[in-house]
């Protein structure tokens, strides 16, 4: 703050080694008060600026000015010198740099105009908008730098992964099937097979066929199973009838054979067909 009126030293060119460093891509130049810098080095410096605001901020910081007091005249002189160098180097001079030069010139001229006597007028400080932009840009610059320092994947932190045990198998989601699809599929199959009569598939037969499957699962081909073991009395008469029909059907289809050793002896069944038939 104390240095706010300090004029920049526009010194005569003095050849000096270039103390130039880059920290996080930001050009840190100790006192290049002169502009007599080897052209290719300057090109590198200029290219590190992210635009006119960045260059202005750099100039302000270099001279230890306070943004809020922005000594427009001094800054403008320095800024124009840089822009001139850019021109002579035929650097691809972004329009933004020239636009900023125009803004600076405009502010400077407005500051030179004599102020009206009345203090209370709403004539605003011509520097205000530029100061606001500079402050805002500086905040962005800082934020970008902090963001860059934030621990991040690939550089500071790495994804951690354990293998799955061999026994982990992806869960298979089986397709949905509707009852209607099954019914239609059966209908189609039956229609194609001309030999079949649709009506033979009766509902009655279905409960019998289900019982046939159950009985088949109950008996085996090695030992005989007593016939009465295939009836469940608790099912009542209808159940017994279904079982009986199922057994008859199984015998008819030669899946089951019944054996009776003598009159009124227990009937036994086992898988297989009667060879002697």
Partner 1 sequence: MKKINKNQLKQLVEAALFVADSPMTKLALRDTILAEFTVSERALNEVLKELVLDYQPRGIQLVEVASGYRFQSLDSLSPWLSRMWQESAPRYSRAMLETLALIAYRQPITRGEIEAVRGVAVSSNIIRTLTEREWIKVVGHKEVPGRPSLYATTRQFLDYFSLKSLADLPSSEVFEALDDNEPSPSTATLEAPSESDRAIETANIKREENE
Q: List the one residue from 188, 229, 260, 266 that touches partner 1 (CB under 8 A).
A: 188
Q: Rounded CA gap, 208 and 204, in Å?
A: 6
Using CB under 8 A as the binding rule, whether residue 125 contacts partner 1 is answered as yes
Q: List the one residue from 31, 87, 132, 266 that touches partner 1 (CB under 8 A).
A: 132
Using CB under 8 A as the binding rule, whether residue 100 contacts partner 1 is answered as yes
Q: Rounded CA gap, 208 and 167, in Å?
A: 42
242 to each of 84, 208, 257, how far by Cα in Å? 107, 6, 18
Using CB under 8 A as the binding rule, whether residue 203 contacts partner 1 is answered as yes
Q: Which two tokens stand for residue 155?
A: 């550089």
Nearer CB in complex with partner 1: 114/175:
175
CB of 192 to partner 1, least distance (A): 7
How far from the centroid of its chain's Cα atoms is residue 81's Cα?
A: 48
CB of 246 to partner 1, least distance (A): 10
- Nearest 10 degrees: CA dihedral of 16, 22, 27, 32? -10
Using CB under 8 A as the binding rule, whether residue 114 contacts partner 1 is answered as no
Instruction: Let me know: does 105 contact 76? Beta carbons within 8 Å.
Output: yes
Angle between helices 128-149 and 95-112 (to 10 degrees): 140
Nearer CB in complex with partner 1: 16/214:
214
Segment near partner 1 (CB under 8 A); pick from 39-47, 85-93, 162-170, 260-268: 162-170
Q: List the one residue from 158, 223, 264, 265 that touches partner 1 (CB under 8 A).
A: 158
Task: Using CB under 8 A, count the residues that bind partner 1.
Answer: 109
**DSSP assignment, residue 157?**
B
Using CB under 8 A as the binding rule, whether residue 223 contacts partner 1 is answered as no
Segment near partner 1 (CB under 8 A); pick from 6-14, 37-45, 74-82, 236-244: 236-244
Segment near partner 1 (CB under 8 A); pick from 32-40, 71-79, 108-116, 266-274: 266-274
Angle between helices 72-88 and 52-62 (to 10 degrees): 120
Using CB under 8 A as the binding rule, whether residue 260 contacts partner 1 is answered as no
Q: List the one residue from 40, 92, 118, 122 that touches partner 1 (CB under 8 A).
A: 122
231 to each of 3, 174, 242, 253, how far by Cα in Å? 111, 37, 9, 20
């Amino acid at each position: 703050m104390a240095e706010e009126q300090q004029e920049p030293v526009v010194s005569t060119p003095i050849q000096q080694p270039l103390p130039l460093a880059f920290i996080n891509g930001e050009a840190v130049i100790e006192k290049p008060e002169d502009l007599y810098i080897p052209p290719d080095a300057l090109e590198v410096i200029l290219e590190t600026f992210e635009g006119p605001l960045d260059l202005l901020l750099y100039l302000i910081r270099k001279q230890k000015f306070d943004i809020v007091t922005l000594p427009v005249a001094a800054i403008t002189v320095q800024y124009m010198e840089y822009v001139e160098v850019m021109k002579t180097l035929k650097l691809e001079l972004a329009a933004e740099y020239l636009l900023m030069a125009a803004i600076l010139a405009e502010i400077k001229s407005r500051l030179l105009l004599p102020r009206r006597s009345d203090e209370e007028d709403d004539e605003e400080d011509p520097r205000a908008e530029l100061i606001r932009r500079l402050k805002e840009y500086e905040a962005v610059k800082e934020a970008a730098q902090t963001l860059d320092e934030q621990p991040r994947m690939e550089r500071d932190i790495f994804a951690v992964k354990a293998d799955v045990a061999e026994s982990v198998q992806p869960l298979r989601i089986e397709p949905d099937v509707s009852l209607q699809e099954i019914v239609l599929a059966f209908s189609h199959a039956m229609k194609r097979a001309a030999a079949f009569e649709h009506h033979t598939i009766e509902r009655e037969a279905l409960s019998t066929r289900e019982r046939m499957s159950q009985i088949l699962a109950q008996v085996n081909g090695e030992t005989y199973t007593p016939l009465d073991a295939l009836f469940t009395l608790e099912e009542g008469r209808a159940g017994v009838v279904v079982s009986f029909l199922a057994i008859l059907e199984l015998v008819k289809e030669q899946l089951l054979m019944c054996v009776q050793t003598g009159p009124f002896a227990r009937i036994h069944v086992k898988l297989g067909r009667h060879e002697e038939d």
